[in-house]
């Protein structure tokens, strides 16, 4: 359970707005462990795979275009319940429904500029991590302070 992993991305708007450090800091301070990170300008082809479940939606083309419009920061975070907790830390899909204290609730207004992505289930996290990272790009390491994060 402590080794559950989730895929978190700072979208191109979050990168442009200088929010990468803040978003990383929130996961670090919570106690989660960073196991993979890269900056990448993803292709539309890649993003169509990432958002395949949404391909029938009217906003799909615009979403893929926006997500490919600049570099994003892709990450894998590890820890207890990190998929669900990560979603809670991001806030709701619509920033207007996101509570202050969440990333979207603190930094965004518009659904199409909600600055971050997080896997919505353990299953989709597995798929997304495989889509964005090679096995060799994900680090396995022990953190010396884990005994101060987990009982
Ligand atoms: P989330 O990113 O919270 O997992 P999602 O997977 O349903 O939300 O949709 C992916 C992204 O697509 C979302 O972050 C913003 C955009 N989006 C979702 N619903 C939308 C809508 N009704 N209109 C415009 N953009 C939308
Ligand atoms: Mg989603």
Burial class (CB in 10 A: 0-12, 13-18, 19+), 132: buried
CA of 120 to the centre of ligand 2 (A): 6
Q: What is the pLDDT of residues 59-103, one digit of tens each?
A: 999 999 999 999 999 999 999 999 999 999 999 999 999 999 999
Strand partners, 7: 76
Q: Is the CB of 63 under 6 A from ligand 1?
A: yes
119 lines ligand 1 (CB under 6 A): no
Check residue 81 and give its pLDDT. Answer: 98
pTM above 0.90, yes or no: yes
| Alpha-carbon gap, residue 151 to 144, rounded angstroms | 14
- CA 50, CA 124: separation in Å to the nearest integer? 10
- Is-catalytic flag, 46? no
Residue 112 reports pLDDT greater than 70: yes
Q: Does ligand 1 have an atom closer than 6 angstroms to the CB of 98?
A: no
């Amino acid at each position: 359970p402590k080794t559950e992993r989730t895929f978190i991305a700072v979208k191109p708007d979050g990168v442009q707005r200088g929010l990468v450090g803040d978003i990383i800091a929130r996961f670090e301070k919570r106690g989660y462990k960073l196991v993979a990170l890269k900056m990448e300008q993803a292709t539309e082809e890649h993003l169509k795979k990432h958002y395949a479940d949404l391909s029938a939606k009217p906003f799909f083309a615009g979403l893929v275009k926006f997500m490919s419009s600049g570099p994003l920061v892709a990450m894998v975070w590890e820890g207890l319940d990190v998929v669900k907790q990560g979603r809670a830390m991001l806030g709701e899909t619509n920033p207007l429904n996101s509570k202050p204290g969440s990333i979207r609730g603190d930094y965004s207004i518009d659904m199409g500029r909600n600055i971050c992505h997080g896997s919505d289930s353990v299953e989709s996290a597995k798929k997304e991590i495989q889509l964005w990272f090679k096995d060799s790009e994900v680090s396995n390491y022990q953190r010396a302070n884990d005994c101060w994060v987990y009982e």
